[in-house]
Amino acid sequence: MIKLLLVDDHDLVRTGIRRLIEDHAEQEGIVVVGEAATGEEAVRMVGRLAPNVVLMDVNMPGIGGMEATRRMLRVAPDLKVIVVTVHDQGPFPKKLLEAGALGYLSKGCGVDEIITAIRTVMRGKRYLSAEVAQRLALEMLPGGGSSGLDALSGREMQILYMLAQGQKVQSISETLHLSPKTVSTYKSRMQEKLNVKSDAELIRLAMEYGLVAGTPNGGAPVP
């Protein structure tokens, strides 16, 4: 039996995936043991429910999917994380795979592909949607057009993501268990690496590369 945890901040998405999985549960031996709406909740549920596989979105309130992946794997090193998201472009696929995710799917995929991905990662192998696999392969070629955010470390990406959500330095420091000074230092390093001079420019760049929903002219707030 494969125990599955669903993580997404939208009830409708979790309900839809649960129903699709349960329609195939009997023959596939997969059972949904829990649902979480935030990365923080997912980390707690991994410790309590001991799932084998997590299906998880990236863009959620709080720490988001990238930091949640790191924390869940610290709690359960054998856990298999599959990202299921609309973000199949930009820096997310590469950075999440570096954080330890084994699978990456688009939310447009069907239940058969979800089942295949679950079976594949349970064998310890990586599963990527065709679009993501092609994009990552192209980025490895000379002049492949890698994201402008590739220069950032995983921690810097996490802090940029939280800044783009509108979180302040003090809130980020408390969530990530870092001092405010350390968070500010990361922010300064990001500005230097990306050649920008303000928080507003950082957030605008995050939107341009699809790190968060929205555009500089709508959607998400820009200070």
pLDDT beneath 50: ranges in the chain: 141-145, 214-223
The answer to whether residues 86 and 127 touch, using CB atoms and an 8 Å cutoff, is no
DSSP 101: -
pLDDT of residue 146: 52
Task: Collect all residues with Cβ–Cβ distance below 8 Å to 211 and sequence separation of at least 6.
Answer: 90, 91, 92, 149, 157, 160, 161, 164
pLDDT at residue 87, as a whole number: 65
CA distance 67 to 39: 8
Structure tokens at 182: 């350390």
Q: Which domains does the chain have, with CATH numbers?
A: 2-139 (3.40.50.2300), 154-208 (1.10.10.10)
Proportion of the chain above pLDDT 70, given as a percent: 83
